Amino acid sequence: MRHFRLLLAGNGISAYGSYLNMVALNVFVYHATGSALTAGLYMAVRLATSVASGWLSGRLVSRYDRKRLMVGADLTQAGALLALLLAPGTARVALVFALAVAGGGCATLSQVALRSSIPEIVGAGQRARANSLLVTGRALAMIAGFASSGVVVAQLGYRAAFVLDAISFVISAGILSVLPLRTRAAAPQAADQAPPVPLTVRVLLRTAPLPAAMIAVRAVDGLGSSSHNVALPIYSSDLDPHHPATFISQFWATWAIGNILAQQVIGRPAKKGADGIPGERGFALGACVMSAGFIAVFSGLPTAPAVIAALIAGAADGFTEIVYVSRLQSAPDEQRGRLFGLAASTENAGFGLGMLISGALLERFSPLTVVAGFHGLAMVLCIALFTLLYRRGPAPGPDPAAAMGRELPGTPGGGA
């Protein structure tokens, strides 16, 4: 875990730069063009690239060295930011959209490569612990990035924010370069034997329905996440028109604290699957609690209960993500990249679709109605998954996937 902690530090630094730049770039595009539509188009391009690049990332991660892919992704983003800094003012808006493509694609590639590599870097028995540390690091980076973005942009300007982000990617790439990490199994399957993406999806649905169901739940969770992200500024303005940022700040800070607490929850000796990680039942319950917490936040509760609801939602969100990622990592190494590529595309597609639909619905309905509708749908799916697992009973034991000649994640049954 010593090398992984250094990797974690580099990942946290680059995540801080990304969250800082998320705010800086959005404000920069709006100020440079004076158009909210252009600013929204920037986000749409970045998200669409993230969706499309999931499939490609899965293929790249299955075929090429994952460490080099992560280093290349960091350096590409740093180079794109440097080009933006050196470009004349008239060309910067166009370059911002090129940066959206580079950022969306490289962020997805890095995520797929890192998640696929965790069992090889730390060992299969330590993957839940490693995933929980990644959740904590990202939550801390989000707090620091969002909290400092206003100060950096206001006091130092956009160029300073872009420079900080570029430096963060260079640091991350440098740490990755010098660490002696093994990111692939000792005897990986030949790349030309890896199944193509369509076959992987079909076999996943046929031989491993539980991982497929978990990915589906995460896609619907993406719809729910987009609904509360879009509704939050409106709800916060309704609560206090003179200080609309107050509730938003309280919500995200409390949510992040809950995510950090999830690291402690995941390590407790609760009822777990055979591999020591809470199984699909824990995932379904956690996702259900998360959605209920988000609905409660928008239900008009007084400040203290609303903050508690946000804390519970954040903890459940972190818990379900750790369980979800850890369970998908139980796939054989040669399948893992494509599986996480599929998951990334599905999750980003759900979030992007939810952003569009939520924005339209909020023109006619209240934030509570929209958030409750989307998160309620996620809860229904989670309850259905939990009911299926409960009726199925204890896992009967490994059942090799005959169609692929080897075991897929979840074929032994849901560890609960």
Both 254 and 107 in one domain: the answer is: no
Question: Any idea which of 7-11, 237-241, 411-415 has the lowest mean pLDDT?
Answer: 411-415
Give the pTM: 0.82
Q: How far apart are CA 83 and CA 189, in angstroms?
A: 39
* CA triple 9-13-16, angle to 5 deg: 135
Both 115 and 202 in one domain: the answer is: no
Domain with 53, as residue range(s), is 1-184
Both 277 and 245 in one domain: the answer is: yes
Rounded alpha-carbon distances, angstroms, from residue 180 to 6, 7, 262, 278, 398: 11, 10, 29, 30, 34
Both 27 and 128 in one domain: the answer is: yes
Tens-place pLDDT, residues 241-294:
877 777 887 888 888 888 888 776 675 544 444 455 677 888 999 999 999 999
Give the residue with greater pLDDT, 164 vs 150.
Answer: 164
Mean pLDDT of 339-352: 90
| Residue 186, pLDDT score | 65
Tokens at residue 387, please? 């009911």
Q: Strands, DSSP E only, in 177-314? A: none
Give me the number of domains the chain comprises: 2
Both 145 and 209 in one domain: the answer is: no
Q: How far apart are CA 255 and CA 259, in angstroms?
A: 6
Both 328 and 378 in one domain: the answer is: yes
**Crossing angle between the packed helical segments 158-178 and 66-86, to the nearest 10 degrees:** 160
Tens-place pLDDT, residues 278-288:
778 889 999 99
**CATH number for position 19:** 1.20.1250.20
Both 133 and 28 in one domain: the answer is: yes
| Residue 192, pLDDT score | 42
Both 178 and 234 in one domain: the answer is: no
